Structure 1
Amino acid sequence: MAEIAQVWSAADWRGSQVADDPGWRLPLSSAQQDEVLVALAVAQGADVPLDSVSREVFPLPTLGVELRRLADDVVHGRGFALVQGVPVDALTEEQCVLVAVGISAYIGDLVPQGPQRAPVVHVRDGGADAASSITRSYQHSGRLGFHADPTDVVALLCLRPARSGGLSAIVSSVAVHNALVAARPDLARLLYEPWWFDRRTGDGPDSFYQQPVYAIGTDGRLSTRYGPDYIRSAQRGAHVPALDADRVEAMEALDRLNHAPDFLLTMELRPGDLQLLNNRVILHSRTAYEDHPEPERRRHLLRLWLDM
């Protein structure tokens, strides 16, 4: 294996450095909100499947320019962005889904999710048992460890927040990598080796797979694939070897850095907030949350996976 070294990236940032930077936020003006609603009407008239919603079907002549700028920064820059003020309050759930897909058409290509190949996943507490072999992280209200989704970009549109909790937090996996290399290159080296992960599709061998946490692409850029919850649950696989002491130490060191206040950037997503994260260079998590008793007020986000 090549020497483990720190890497340069525009996505190497710390939360304390970027928290007050307005460059990653795009608050929509009233004119831009009206543009979204007009595009929604056009898309509804076109009556095409969600996976066929394109920029032509959902025309955003001025906002689209800003969204493409954000997309470039998500891919080649700091790796994340937040669109604020998407007009969801007066829309039906079906209309919100169409708006999320239409806006995301300016960011990347829609990727089907899960065994059902769903274009959009509804992130809400379904009362699922977090310890179950088929429960996914979006189906319960518990805390989530810092992780990356399996596509280039994940988009999350908030329709309703929880009564309390559910705070979104992100870290630059590049900054964390570089800090770990500087402090413990021996542990960083372990993270370049294959690790077992759990797809949580059941108890069969196909639910488990191997990949490194860190990898350097042919373009010289660092890519991170991490998820402590899914690494630990992979231990249920009969053929998966137990985590040895060195790997446990590597995960503990990585988790400490991911939760270090200097690295963290937190966001309290409000209705109409659309969070965009580059899974190659950003890890994200969520605190546990408590919901409203009324079903119509409970936390509800829409998740889209995008390839660039």
Structure 2
Amino acid sequence: MATTAVLPYELYTDAPGTLFMKREWEEANAAHPHHFDFGDVPEGWPKRLTGPLVWDGKDLNAHRNYTLIAEKYIHVLTSTEIAEIGAAAKSFQRLLLPLSAIKQSNFPLPQLGPTLRGIAKNLYQGTGLNLLRGFPIQKYDKEEQIIIFLGINAWVADTRLDQGIGRGICHIKSINHIDPSQRGKIFVSAQNNDAQMYHSDAGSEIVGLIALNVPSSGGESTVASSWQVYNHLAEYRPDILRLLAGKNFRWTANGIPEDGVRLIHWLNEQMYVNFATRTFIGYAEAPDRDTKYPPLTLEEREALGGWQWIAEQYCLETALQAGDIEWVNNLHHQHARRGYIDDTSNPRHLLRIWSRDSEYAPELPLDIKNKFDAMFRNTPGFYPLDEIEEDTRRKETGIFTASCKQKTAAERVQTDFP
């Protein structure tokens, strides 16, 4: 068991002294004169966003068992649906095909399939968040668990995206307990048990997670509607929105794209988000920021702090259960995680997939599209059965370690972000 207690989330920051904990943000916000004029929202942007993507987590939580905006946030599997999933997994295994070959046509779900297609529609055109609950995932071995996750996900989003080093699957599991000389450097939060600040994953339209095992305590998943965050900031701190939408404050993922990506975007009456803080501050055992960017200004620190703690104010917090599959629209929402205590003999373990659905995929803002096009040129073919196999590939390639900083932009196309 871990020997230290979990830090209360309001006291957490990915970079002490740089990124604000909750109290620091509140103090910075309160330091402005009471009647200070923060100006208006970015030019051409609305003063308020409306529609199903605008939600407060407290409302979603209160309606977990009821219909909300014509969709249920949580779908609890029936015994018939569970049996259908198990049969589909066995059917795929009999084909003797690689894991990369899993798709709707060879993972038949005649009864559950239409429900999953409804989830796909809701992810893109509804609330942008769904949870599938009740599958007994711990009854299956490592390969079967991956088959089941990929098979179910194929009905929700038909295109799997590369998560770096050709991975079609990523293991979210702490490797803190492994001797540092025997593993790659930790510089993504998928590999430790610290809390996470709100972020977009570097790639993907839809982020999917399945909980194979849950921690001894903590580790709750949190998701915030970025549209709700926008509405709050548009009313109280539009200056933060102008900074995040501006041309001068951009982020990359391992240098892709070279000229960076704006943090928030407005296109076709939709707001898009795609950013996290690691470009600007580094993380864990690779704490150096991307040296292409100067240190954060106080204004930028306040903007990131405002976005973080307003997101926390409106978030939906979920204690995932073993077998849960959570999907989040990565273009419109951001997600985070509470810190957790692990039992190393029975540790927290999630699988992650990045995907898009061809039926519902929208036109993307140009710089997000350019980044995704650079990252996702190849179909993923590497499906590691555990975090050790995954980390071995990291070390072999030199990607996701400090050595990536010495590679050229072309060599660093593959990327990862928690």
Matches within 5 A, 1:48-87: 48-87=97-136
Query: Quick one: which amino acid aligns to residue 145 of structure 1?
Result: M
The question of 1:307 aligning with 2:356 is answered yes
Which of the numbers 277, 284, 297 marks the counterpart of 2:335?
284
Offset from partner CA, 1:223-263 (integer Å, 9 cap, x none): 11132344322962333122222211211211220121xx1
TM-score (normalizing by structure 1): 0.90
Would you say the 8 A contact 2:278–2:289 is kept in 1?
no
Q: Which moved more, 1:32-41 or 1:183-192?
A: 183-192
Distance of 2:269 and 2:229 partners within structure 1: 17
Q: Which moved more, 1:133-142 or 1:45-54?
A: 133-142
Would you say the 8 A contact 2:251–2:262 is kept in 1?
no
Query: Quick one: which amino acid aligns to residue 97 of structure 2?
Result: V
Query: Quick one: which amino acid aligns to residue 177 of structure 1?
Result: Y
Which of the numbers 256, 260, 264 marks the counterpart of 2:315?
264
- SS across alignment from 1:240: coil
Larger Rg: 2
- SS across alignment from 1:258: helix
Give the equivalent residue in structure 1 for 2:302.
249
Identity of aligned residues (%): 25
Offset from partner CA, 1:119-176 (integer Å, 9 cap, x none): 11111001188xx976222011111111111210010000100111111111101100
CA pair 141-198 structure 1, distance change in 2 beyond 3 A: farther
Distance of 1:50 and 1:177 partners within structure 2: 40
Distance of 2:211 and 2:296 partners within structure 1: 36
Structure 1: which 5+ runs fail to align?
none
Q: Which moved more, 1:280-289 or 1:222-231?
A: 222-231
Distance of 2:342 and 2:279 partners within structure 1: 25
Give the equivalent residue in structure 2 for 1:231.
280
Offset from partner CA, 1:92-114 (integer Å, 9 cap, x none): 01100000000000011111211
Give the equivalent residue in structure 2 for 1:28.
77
Structure 2: which 5+ runs fail to align?
1-41, 66-71, 358-418
Distance of 1:185 and 1:26 partners within structure 2: 37
CA pair 81-180 structure 1, distance change in 2 beyond 3 A: same
Would you say the 8 A contact 1:110–1:304 is kept in 2?
yes
Query: Quick one: which amino acid aligns to residue 299 of structure 1?
Result: R
The question of 1:8 aligning with 2:66 is answered no
The CA deviation at 1:197 is 3.1
Distance of 1:209 and 1:88 partners within structure 2: 42
Would you say the 8 A contact 1:146–1:258 is kept in 2?
yes
CA pair 133-96 structure 1, distance change in 2 beyond 3 A: closer
- SS across alignment from 2:49: coil
Distance of 1:240 and 1:147 partners within structure 2: 19
Query: Quick one: which amino acid aligns to residue 277 of structure 1?
Result: V
Q: Which moved more, 1:180-189 or 1:93-102?
A: 180-189
Query: Quick one: which amino acid aligns to residue 324 of structure 2?
Result: D
Distance of 2:101 and 2:127 partners within structure 1: 29
- SS across alignment from 2:155: coil
Would you say the 8 A contact 2:207–2:355 is kept in 1?
yes
Q: State the Cα RMSD in Å.
A: 2.1
Distance of 2:260 and 2:281 partners within structure 1: 13
Would you say the 8 A contact 1:51–1:110 is kept in 2?
no
Which of the numbers 165, 168, 191 marks the counterpart of 1:139?
191
Q: Which moved more, 1:284-293 or 1:90-99?
A: 284-293
Distance of 1:41 and 1:277 partners within structure 2: 28
TM-score (normalizing by structure 2): 0.67
Would you say the 8 A contact 1:74–1:277 is kept in 2?
yes
Give the equivalent residue in structure 2 for 1:197.
251
The question of 1:104 aligning with 2:153 is answered yes
- SS across alignment from 1:216: strand
Would you say the 8 A contact 1:148–1:279 is kept in 2?
yes
